[in-house]
Amino acid sequence: MESKNHSTELGVAISKFLDYCDNYRNLSSYTLRNYKSDLDDFLKYLISESKTKIDDMDRSVIRKYINLLNNLDYKRSSINRKLSVVRVFFKYISTNEDYGSRDLVFTAKSKIERSLPKVLSSNNIKDLLNSVDISDFYGIRNKTIIDIMYVTGIRVSELASINIDDIVNSEQIKVLGKGSKFRVVYINEKSRINLQDYLKQRMKKNVNSNSLFINKYGKRLSVRSIQKIIKKYGFIAGLDTSIHPHMLRHSFATQMLSNGADLRTVQTLLGHSRIATTQIYTHVANKDMEESYFNSHPRVETR
């Protein structure tokens, strides 16, 4: 895997880092693409600042990069992801003997404050599902995609990678998560019916592919295509905000916790390696509970 502008010292280091990730870190192809894209953006910025050597790296470089991303109106989540990739790259440099184990400083203070995830209400989900016209194969497929993502909380990359033989039984699906780790997620009765309807229609296509969700050419449906599908039906449903697949995951986690699921169970179902990552949803659930109290209690007249 080669990075653009790889002739510079940092460009060469980025190329070596991407090769290392590809060969030794057992990352998904989706994660590797994001790593490459984010590091290409970082390198373009460094070249524009004439900071092309490893010794040029310091806190001021990171601060200026954060300011640039903010000025370009990147979302907080996108900035955090880009900084996380740069942090991993710096750690690679700092621990690699090829670079003299140089100590590159990248503190947690560089990270933008984390905002609460946006979630959809149960009524939003119903509107989203009801907006799908299921009179043809693609409508049945699209409704099944939305339904499975919501009832399982899986990532869009995980959904795209599901194969037919990953369906363990009528209630369980095996998904390949981050770090190439498999886990089992569960579907309810309505979702089983939707999935069975889709599989019946898919069989009529007579395609030679093990991919669960296919495009019009019989090939695996891409992550980008799934993102477009979710956004399309969010618009048709008339939802106020721009819908993206991760909002279905956020909604799954928040509603599970609101309905009494314990944190460890939700962590396992989401495939989070750290429980701290899952805990962000408790804040959303608590915020919803507060809103419900102030909107519903008979003795609460004003806020």
Most confident of 29-38, 53-62, 90-99: 29-38
Active site residues: 155, 178, 246, 249, 272, 281
Residue 85's CATH number? 1.10.150
pTM: 0.64
Identify whether the C-beta of residue 54 lies closer than 8 Å to the C-beta of residue 9: yes
Could you read off the pLDDT of 118-139 as tens digits, one per residue? 889 999 999 999 999 999 999 9
Domain that holds residue 37: 9-110
Residue 303 in domain: no
Residue 57 in domain: yes
Q: How confident is the model at residue 104 (pLDDT cuts 50, 70, 90)?
A: low
Could you read off the pLDDT of 213-242 as tens digits, one per residue? 999 999 999 999 999 999 999 999 999 767
Residues 82 and 141 in one domain: no
Residues 217 and 76 in one domain: no
* pLDDT given at position 136: 97
**Token pair for residue 274?**
């750290």
Query: Of 110, 140, 171, at which residue does a domain stop?
Result: 110
